[in-house]
Amino acid sequence: MTHTGTTSTHKTPRLPYTETPLPGLDPRWSTTVEVASNAACEPVRGQIRTWHVLDNWEVLEAEGKQPVGTVLAVHGNPTWSYLWRNVIAAATEAEQPWRVVAVDQLDMGFSERTGLNRRYDDRIQDLSDLTAAMGLDDEHVVTLAHDWGGLISMGWAELHPGAHVGTIMTNTAIHHDPASGPIPAPLRLALAPAVHGILTSRTNAFLDVSIGLVESGLDPAVKVAFKAPYETAERRQAIENFVADIPAFEGHPSNPRYERTAAWVATSSVPALFLWGTKDPVFKEQYLLDLIRRMPQATVHRYEGAKHLLPQDRAIEEPIMRWLTETFAQGSTHRQDHQAARPTSGSHAAFVPFHSGLTERAAQQAHAWEVATADMGPATNDREPAVKKRLAWTELENRVNAVASGLLGIGVRPGDRINLMVPPGTDLTTLIYACFRIGAVIVVADTGLGAKGLSRALKGAAPKWLIGVPQALVAAKSLGWPGTRISATAMDPLRAKALGVAHTVPQLEKSGPIPFPELDPDADAAVLFTSGSTGPAKGVVYTQRQMAAMRDAVAAVCDLRPGTGLVAAFAPFALLAPAMGASSVTPDMDVTKPRTLTARALADAAGAIEATSVFASPAAIVNVLATQDELSEHQREALSKVRLMLSAGAPLPPPLLEDLQELLPNASLHTPYGMTECLPLTDVDLPTIREAAVDAQPAGGSARRGAAAGSARVEGAGGGVCVGTPVPGATIKIRVLDQDGEPTGDLVDTPGVLGEIVAQAPHMKDRYDRLWVTENESTRIPGWHSTSDVGHFDAKGRLWVEGRLSHVLHTANGVVAPVAAEHAAANVPGVGRTAIVGVGRKGAQVPVAVCETEPASKTVGPARPALAARVRDAVAAATGLDVAAVLVVKAHPTDVRHNSKIDRTLLAEWAQNALGGGKIKNP
């Protein structure tokens, strides 16, 4: 969403220099400063030049506010100090205010047009002259910069080590590595001699393109304000000069100073904040990564979808003020407070490395040659499962050690990120444990994200190495994924050269043993990406200690221990089994497409290792049940030996669980609740779900359809989805919602209170990767992870999940969570997946049911009267909610498999349009 907020009370302020309205700019900030120039380009040393600056000092003084410090804000080309108006307003209004001095560089904005070609060195001197004249050299100054203002502000910082106390930068570049290729295409075009002057000064082309680099475009009045200082070719001359001064080649006059500044930045130890728009076609993520390498102490937030003009694309003034307050006005940062409040904070318990179960099992002579991990292929007959590959514990241990040594031999070091683009199975297991063993950080993203989603995730994580199967290496080459290429399989030299492959895993395995480094329990171990179903996929960072805690939590829930066997039809659990000394097998399926798991493939995998446990996603289970008629008696016998069945990722409807129980008659069915950020959090089995469904019935009758007593079949459940009680070590609370549906209240476990589910556990994530703002939002309460799910506890302490926080309805009678009503509607014969959305303004929304039908409807819009009546009656009986309208769609706007992933925002907009008489088509 474009951010063009007008935070000033002055609606259409004008400066003395222009008649153009300047939305959001308080004219009281505007001032001019007479400065003696010492720049080398000046023909006369000490020439007086007139600067225009925006400075809130007089406003703060008039209001009796004492600023914490000074922010020196430096724009780039072709903007001006107007770029920082929202930051100035926020800094002025803050409880702990800051003075902001936002400059118009000479020949830019409304500063004097000198008629001189000012180079990089001159601009550093210009800024130094100004700060000396304004008395800022004796202040505590935090630089804030965008575009080429980044280099200029850092040149100033190098000369003012006593004043410079912090750095904030948005979409800029400090250095360009020629080895990475030429400078960005837009800059190459602007530098081309044939069009350089035409694009930059003689026309508005460069100016128009630059201020157009906002995700949703600028408000027209704001766009006019940005162009106000540049109305003529003469006033745009500095835009041309600025572009020409880009040190695009080694012999450029500005190159020596540019190289000097870039080298100095790597020595700076001041606190830093980098805010970045990821869709910038000029200052791409390679420049952010360069900055991070030079200033590893920096706090980073990447705004997915935002473009070059980030201060106009997102409300960056809010995180800027938060960071300034935390860094310079408080005794601790939010992260420090969060870490201190975590359950494991300060723990000195013995650390047991994640891979220890594998090593211990391999060392036991009696079990060393039992199957540790196996891959299944297509079955050849009913009685002989096709095991494509298997490794005994000794073989797996030896292979892990060999690959780990090979990785060290080619230069992989603890903390290096390694993207693993290898399908689940024995090869991936080997690579994961080799990385853990040497302290490398695995980066794992589901290929189900698609090419765009994967590219966004991997470029954001910026792994140093990439290990992939040939198909992944082809994608990496074409899509520009980062990392030195390592082929998971042997590869002929010609193809390896074509794909940029530097090493192969078979080559690594032949390396001699190298001593492994000692592991730091609190160092990063993994970056695991979320599914991307609730926005762009987020990288979730776990430390070595947290991965070990996850292993222990899963072991407790799944009863996985040495001697047990797991069918891992859900990729994350394939990597966990060997850590517990449990055998694992990957069935014949495409794990990125859960519905490819058939009942026969599941049974064959279970029979191959005499599995005691199965883990599969809801979508996989749906297809297993749909194909169970293909099972032979031998295969049914293999499934009868399964003692534990687990499914996570989305709630499983009770009827599906009942059908699954018939297929796995001796298995205890569990549906643990959790997320990439913390898995598992709770656990629940089918008997508990049955009991909870009975308990949820209203007094005096079975208003919630299908709730039966005892062990009878359960067809539905009231109040949402019962997910049971917290797993050992986890604590869950409800944060009460206010009247606006915001989680602002106390943390409670009082039965029947609706609110956001918050949790803490030793195996909770360390942080989101390079998403500082998102991380702060998810840890609003220090020590706790805010899940953005809503729910309640019942009288027996069981947690019920009732939907996402963003999906609650804000009705005249208060906040309503949708899941219970959706379940009631979906239980109506002929109705499939249903979403309950709110239509109308917040606080007066009415519930509308949007249903898929079985079979799928051929039309969209209002449901037939009889069907609508049945849906209304079912929802009212189960929840008391009065559904205002029932609409049908051919399919919900999503390609994922369960209600929690429906794009309800889009669906609500569609429903409002449909009910308002707009043109109706499938959303």
Can you list the alpha helix ranges (DSSP code H) found in 35-75?
Answer: 57-62
Q: Where are the alpha helices (DSSP H) in 462-591?
A: 470-479, 493-498, 505-509, 544-558, 571-576
What pLDDT was estimated at residue 344? 65
Task: Please indicate, yes or no, if residue 900 is contained in any of the structural domains.
Answer: yes
- How far apart, in whole angstroms, are the C-alpha atoms of residue 11 and residue 406? 65
Helix (H) or strand (E) holding 404: helix 393-409
Claim to verify: residue 799 and residue 813 sit in the same structural domain: no
**Residue 225, amino acid:** A
pLDDT digits (tens, 9 = 90+) for 795-808: 999 999 998 999 99
Asked whether residue 776 is domain-assigned, the answer is: no
Give the span between the Cα atoms of 300 and 274, in whole angstroms.
5
Worst-scoring range by mean pLDDT, 33-47, 266-280, 379-393, 798-812? 379-393
Q: Mean pLDDT of all residues in the chain?
A: 90
239 in Cβ contact with 209 (< 8 Å)? no
Which of 609, 644, 671 delimits the end of a domain? Answer: 671
Q: Measured between alpha carbons, how far is 502 from 482 in angstroms, rounded to an integer?
A: 13
Residue 825 lies in a domain: yes
Q: Are 306 and 277 within 8 A, CB to CB?
A: yes
H-helix segments, 198-347: 205-211, 220-227, 237-244, 255-265, 285-294, 310-313, 317-328, 334-341
346, part of any domain: no
Residue where a domain terminates, one of 806, 840, 859: 806
Residues 501 and 446 placed together within one structural domain of the fold: yes
In a domain, 244, yes or no: yes
CA 364 and chain centroid, separation: 42
CA separation for the pair 523, 731 (Å, rounded): 24
pLDDT tens track for 609-654? 999 999 998 889 999 999 999 999 999 999 999 999 998 777 777 8
Position 142, amino acid = V
Please name which of 462, 452, 506 lies closest in space to residue 484, comparing C-alpha atoms. 462
CATH of the domain at 684: 2.30.38.10
Do the Cβ atoms of 792 and 719 come closer than 8 Å? yes
Of 645, 671, 697, the residue that ends a domain is 671
**Choice among 136-150, 204-218, 369-383 with the minimum mean pLDDT:** 369-383
> Which tokens hold the place of 661?
């129980």
Same domain, 576 and 429: yes
Q: Is the pLDDT of residue 896 over 80?
A: no
- For Cα atoms 341, 303, 225, give the angle at the middle one, nearest 5 degrees: 125
Q: Does residue 794 carry a pLDDT above 80?
A: yes
Residues 68 and 170 in one domain: yes
Q: What is the pLDDT of residue 532?
A: 75
- 224 and 305 in a common domain: yes
Same domain? For 789 and 822 the reply is: no
CA 412 from chain centre, in angstroms, equals 26
Is 591 within a domain?
Answer: yes
Exposure string for 350-359, b = 16+ CB within 10 A, e = fewer: ebbbbbebbb
What tens digit of pLDDT does each residue of 229-281 get? 999 999 999 999 999 998 877 789 999 999 999 999 999 999 999 999 999 99
Statement to judge: residues 378 and 521 lie in one domain: yes
The domain that contains 45 carries what CATH number?
A: 3.40.50.1820
The verdict on residue 337 lying in a domain is no
Domain interval for residue 638? 356-671
Residues 312 and 227 in one domain: yes
**Count, residues in the chain:** 923
* 572 pLDDT above the threshold of 80: no
Helices 654-663 and 618-626, axial angle in degrees (round to 10): 50
Residues 179 and 324 in one domain: yes
375: in domain: yes
Question: In this predicted structure, what is the pLDDT of residue 232?
Answer: 97
φ/ψ of residue 246, rounded to 5: -65, 120
Instruction: Indicate if 653 and 743 belong to the same structural domain.
Output: no
Let me know whether 812 and 802 are in one domain.
Answer: no
CATH code of the domain containing 378: 3.40.50.12780
pLDDT digits (tens, 9 = 90+) for 855-879: 988 889 999 999 999 999 999 998 8
Q: How confident is the model at residue 381 (pLDDT cuts 50, 70, 90)?
A: low
Banded model confidence at residue 903, pLDDT cuts 50, 70, 90: confident
Q: Which two tokens stand for residue 55?
A: 């400075």
Q: Model confidence at 349, in pLDDT bands (50, 70, 90)? A: low
Residue 836: CATH number of its domain:
3.30.300.30
* Tally of domains in the chain: 4
Contact 922, 891 (CB under 8 A): yes
Q: Indicate if 195 and 157 belong to the same structural domain.
A: yes
